[in-house]
Structure 1
Amino acid sequence: MLKLSNVAVSYGSFTAIKHVNIEVAKGEIVVLLGANGAGKSTTFRSISGISKLSQGEIYFQNSPIGGRAPDKNVEAGIVQCAEGRKLFPQMTVQENLRMGAYVHRKKKAEIKYSLEKVYNLFPILKEKNHDDAGSLSGGQQQMLAIGRALMSKPKLLMLDEPSVGLAPLIVEQMFKVIEEINREGITVLLAEQNANAALSIADKGYVFENGEIVVQGTADDLLANGEVRKAYIGA
């Protein structure tokens, strides 16, 4: 479904990522691991079309998309749930969700159906339907951010650090939700620092350091890798 071939992104004289090669098959959960600043978010931004490539190419469903406008990528089914949630705090829960469906705004019946699916996945959002997004707890805001992304009807859902700042019990619930989303046929690319939780649900992973991929393999291989465990799992 997705292939990054020798991708590099530079900001002026600073090279944020280089020699990045990633493949994501339809139906997989693939995780990008690494510390802050390692290159995970820049990789996401390059796939979304927000960051311009300085080298390489990105293919989605066998078509090159490097340089394509972000809105065209969303229409094609590439949807990013950004780190930090990026909600509209003074808009209601439902207004935030409807913003996620903007590219499908003329299809009212589809939007209604998508809303119900999100509410079934996150019942608390239906309960707080008319509350301002800024009044929600951190966990509820993350649910809303993922729900808004789902309103765009993604084929590939990119989740950037969804567990940051959440209590352990909420993190556990969040990863169960990601599995459920994947079971419904949505391919997931997940950037995480919580390596243990991410690898427990992933098919394979890539480890970033200083803008480059230094280790890659199946989730089981990475969990068994002593260096990966020491650096990212603490065991």
Structure 2
Amino acid sequence: MLSIMGLTAKYGKYTSIKEVNIEVIKGEIVVLLGANGAGKSTTFKTISGLLKPAAGEIIFNDEQIGGKQPDKIVELGIVQCAEDRKLFPQMSVQQNLMMGAYVHRRNKGQIKQSLKEVNELFPILYDKREDAAGSLSGGQQQMLAIGRALMAKPKLMLLDEPSIGLAPLIVEQMFKSIEHINREGTTILLAEQNANAALSIADKGYVYENGKIVVHGSSAELFSNEEVRKAYIGA
């Protein structure tokens, strides 16, 4: 579904990621591991069209998308759920969800079905549909951010640090929700520092250090890699 080959991206003269290669097969959950500043979010921004590649290719369903406008990439089926959620805090939960459906604004039936699915996945969002998004707890805001992304009916969802700042019990619930979304047909590319939780649901992973991928393999291979365990799993 997604092939990234030799991807390099810069902020001005600073090279943030260099010669990154990633492959995501339809139906997979793939995790990007690494510390803050290692290059995971830059990779997402480049896939999403928020940052133009300095070199390399991004192929999505046999189409070159590197450098395309972000709205065109959303229309193709790639939707990003940002690390800091990027909600509209003064708008209601329902209004935030409807913003995610903008790409399908002419298909009222599709929007109604998507809203039903999101409310079934996260019932608390229905209960709080009239509340301001900014009044929600951190876990509820993350649910809303994921729900808004789902309203666009993505083929590939980019989830950037969905567990950050959340209590352990909420993190567990969040990863169960991600597994459910995947089972329902959405391919997931997940950037996470919580390696233990991420690898427990992922098919494979890539480990970033200083803007480069230094290790990649199946989840089982990364779990059994002593250096990965010491650096990211704490065992």
**Which range, TM-score by smaller chain?**
over 0.9
Matched, 1:225 2:221: no
Correspondence for 2:181: 181
Correspondence for 1:116: 116
Amino acid at match of 1:129: R
Correspondence for 1:203: 203
Amino acid at match of 2:54: S
What are the Cα deviations for residues 97-122 of structure 1, in whole angstroms up to 9, with x where unaligned? 00000111111111111101000000
Amino acid at match of 1:176: K
Correspondence for 2:66: 66
Superposed, which structure 2 residues align to 1:41-190 within 5 Å? Answer: 41-190=41-190
Amino acid at match of 1:161: E
Say which SS state the counterpart of residue 21 (structure 1) adopts: strand
- Give the Å deviation of 1:152: 0.6
Unaligned runs of 5+ in 2: none
Instruction: Please give the alpha-carbon distance, in whole angstroms, between the structure 2 residues aligned to 1:212 and 1:123.
Output: 40
Amino acid at match of 1:95: Q
How many corresponding residue pairs?
235
Instruction: Please give the alpha-carbon distance, in whole angstroms, between the structure 1 residues aligned to 2:179 and 2:187.
Output: 10
Instruction: Please give the alpha-carbon distance, in whole angstroms, between the structure 2 residues aligned to 1:138 and 1:34.
Output: 23
Say which SS state the counterpart of residue 149 (structure 1) adopts: helix
CA RMSD of aligned residues (A): 0.4
Say which SS state the counterpart of residue 19 (structure 1) adopts: strand
Say which SS state the counterpart of residue 57 (structure 1) adopts: strand
Unaligned runs of 5+ in 1: none
What are the Cα deviations for residues 67-122 of structure 1, in whole angstroms up to 9, with x where unaligned? 11100010110000000111000000000000000111111111111101000000
- Give the Å deviation of 1:62: 1.2
Instruction: Please give the alpha-carbon distance, in whole angstroms, between the structure 1 residues aligned to 2:107 and 2:41.
Output: 31
Instruction: Please give the alpha-carbon distance, in whole angstroms, between the structure 1 residues aligned to 2:154 and 2:11.
Output: 28
Tell me the percent identity.
72
Q: Segments of 4+ in structure 1 off by > 6 A? A: none
- Give the Å deviation of 1:63: 1.0
Correspondence for 1:192: 192
Instruction: Please give the alpha-carbon distance, in whole angstroms, between the structure 2 residues aligned to 1:103 and 1:62.
Output: 22
- What TM-score, normalized to structure 1? 0.99
- What TM-score, normalized to structure 2? 0.99
